[in-house]
Structure 1
Amino acid sequence: MIQDIAPHIYHNEYKPVPPDRNSYILTYDKGTVFMKLENNGSDIVFPRFQELEGKISGLYENYIYLFSIDKERFYLIPGLDTSLLPDYSFQNTSLLRTVGPRYHAFAGITGHQLYQWYSTRRFCGCCGQPMKHDTKERMMYCPSCGRHEYPVLMPAVIVAITNGDKIILSKYEGRNFKKYALIAGFAEIGETIEETVHREVMEEVGLKVKNLRYYKSQPWSFTGTLLFGFFCDLDGEDTLTVDHEELSMAQWFDRSEVVGQGNDISLTNEMMMVFAAGKEPR
């Protein structure tokens, strides 16, 4: 999956040390990431601080520390004038699904999730005053009313509904992603993640399920979610009642008919392939 970047190691501890010349710059705008494509578009390159030396005053003073991978550090530069880096361009973040190296694709989309959080925390939601960065933890605080804001995660479920050698595959309604997927949905306030599974399955395909088996989780920064994967068995009738506001289609597929999404970055694809191979938890 996209977060599986071994032998590289992701360090998300908040240690806002200053950047050096080789530190990476991550910049975003309306669902796009600033980068350069190499090797016929298969590899991505992010700019480094050294490329802006002599072009921006206070270059090593105006930054937001994001995280490190191994000893490489990644930062946001607020209000960066991207015209100073003409060899780079903005590309849709969906491209990070297919390019390499894997650990840079992971850095690019993880940085985007943090960028979105920082972008929506510039002003206090209680009193409207400017927020400030805390120096000890990843937190924004309001010096006027004292409100503290921490990064927000949205828990969601990925559900493989099985009935013997059959599984339900679906396609989303109104999204650019057109490949097969599993039933999915966000947890609501006041429910357990297991209750989310039952509710989402009923809402999207009108079925009851039983024998829930937790598979594994995945941080999925493309939608700002933390995914929880479950396999479960059909409980009762197998006739689907599809919610076409959420799904363009959903139907039962035999194990031999399951086709993957074409890459190995998602929990959804891994669960589909585990079922196709007959290795799902029972």
Structure 2
Amino acid sequence: MLQDIRPYHLYNEFRPDKRATDQDLVLIYNDVAKGKEVLALLNADTKCISFPKVKDFEAIDRDKLIYLFNVADEDFYLYLQKEEGEVKASGFSFYNMKDIRTEYLLPKHYVYAIFTAFQLDEWYKVTAFCGKCGCKNEFHQKERARICPKCGNIIYPRINPAVIIGVTDKESNKIVLTKYRRGFALNALVAGFTEIGETLEETVKREVMEEIGLEVTNIRYYKSQPWGIASDILVGFYCDVTGNKTIKMDESELKYAEWVSPCDIELQPLEYSLTNEMMTLFKEKGYEGTIIKKV
């Protein structure tokens, strides 16, 4: 998955003492009509991506650089650009995030850095002002948060819990694959966001019933994945169909939902997502592969 960057590790501790040096990396995002762009340099032949360092900018206010995290002994900083072209780095251009996601780029931990910084860039921009009193927020000095100097309201980075669900049938050795009606065009699994007052297991049951009209039992946790593009924490579960196995698809949400045998599963082209890993497990090992053995 995207976050599997061994032997490296993401160190995202809040470090208010950090100050950018010439060699540190800077991530800058543009908000455009077609989504979001990131400033980088992409070699079309080698598929290698790189980011500008502080020293590469013609002029940049270092006091406005926000320390994000460290990966592979490199410090990453965020610059909140208010308007396009505010700062410039020779040789670097803006690339649409959709293009970043269409093929494998190297090094992989840089792609993971793009996704993670994307989430923080979005959070910093939408929390510029207090949602309670409207006053301009300030940076919290002890933790990664925004604080209102007027009413004291504290805002933390938003993380949305969502479930990815492999609905299985032990008897036929099949799994339900879906395709969304809009947006993502490849095979997927049943998925959805957790509602207020709802457990993850309750989310699994509700989303399966809403999207494909089935009842499930034997809900078992598989893995989780941070997904910065949507500020999500994805939680993967497998579960077994019980009762009537006839799919009743929500046509407003999906354009395809069918029981599929392991040999007929068409995987996504990239191995970045939890969804694709869960489909791969079923393709290679069938139902037996979804029986999670506790250590």
Normalised-by-shorter TM-score class = over 0.9
1:68 to 55, 67, 70: 70
1:130 to 126, 136, 147: 136
1:280 to 280, 283, 290: 290
> Does residue 114 in structure 1 map to residue 120 in structure 2?
yes
SS in 1 for 2:249: coil
Structure 2 counterpart of 1:35: 40
Structure 1 counterpart of 2:148: 142
Residue correspondence of structure 1 range 70-85 to structure 2 within 5 A: 70-79=72-81, 81=85, 84-85=88-89
Given that residues 160 and 182 in structure 1 are in contact (C-alpha distance below 8 angstroms), is that contact kept between their aligned partners in structure 2? Answer: yes
Report the residue type matching 2:5 in the other structure.
I
Instruction: Return the alpha-carbon distance in structure 1 between the equivalents of residues 163 and 129 of structure 2.
Output: 31
Tell me whether 130-139 or 89-98 shows the greater mean CA deviation.
Answer: 89-98
Structure 2 counterpart of 1:56: 59
Measured against aligned partners, the alpha-carbon deviations of 1:217-238 in whole angstroms (never above 9, x if no partner) come to 0001121100110011111111
SS in 2 for 1:26: strand
SS in 1 for 2:63: coil
1:92 to 84, 90, 96: 96
Residue correspondence of structure 1 range 98-247 to structure 2 within 5 A: 98=103, 99-164=105-170, 165-175=173-183, 177-247=184-254
SS in 2 for 1:28: strand
Structure 2 counterpart of 1:18: 19
Measured against aligned partners, the alpha-carbon deviations of 1:48-107 in whole angstroms (never above 9, x if no partner) come to 10112xx326x3222111111132111112337456224222222233333221100000
Given that residues 96 and 108 in structure 1 are in contact (C-alpha distance below 8 angstroms), is that contact kept between their aligned partners in structure 2? Answer: no
Report the residue type matching 2:65 in the other structure.
Y
Stretches of structure 1 that go unaligned for 5 or more consecutive residues are: none
1:154 to partner: Cα distance: 0.3
Report the residue type matching 2:100 in the other structure.
L
Tell me whether 105-114 or 76-85 shows the greater mean CA deviation.
Answer: 76-85
Structure 1 counterpart of 2:5: 5
Give percent identity, aligned residues only: 40
Report the residue type matching 2:73 in the other structure.
K
Instruction: Return the alpha-carbon distance in structure 2 between the equivalents of residues 150 and 260 of structure 1.
Output: 36
Instruction: Return the alpha-carbon distance in structure 2 between the equivalents of residues 277 and 198 of structure 1.
Output: 26
SS in 1 for 2:64: coil
The structure-2 alpha-carbon separation of the partners of 1:125 and 1:90, relative to structure 1 and needing over 3 Å to count, comes to same
Instruction: Return the alpha-carbon distance in structure 2 between the equivalents of residues 154 and 2 of structure 1.
Output: 18
SS in 1 for 2:45: coil
1:39 to partner: Cα distance: 4.3
Q: CA RMSD in A?
A: 1.5
Measured against aligned partners, the alpha-carbon deviations of 1:132-188 in whole angstroms (never above 9, x if no partner) come to 00122101000011100011110000000011311110111210x211000000000
Measured against aligned partners, the alpha-carbon deviations of 1:92-130 in whole angstroms (never above 9, x if no partner) come to 223333322110000001000000000000000011110
Instruction: Count how many residue pairs are aligned between Structure 1 and Structure 2.
Output: 278
1:22 to partner: Cα distance: 1.1
The structure-2 alpha-carbon separation of the partners of 1:43 and 1:11, relative to structure 1 and needing over 3 Å to count, comes to same
Report the residue type matching 1:61 in the other structure.
D
> Does residue 251 in structure 1 map to residue 250 in structure 2?
no
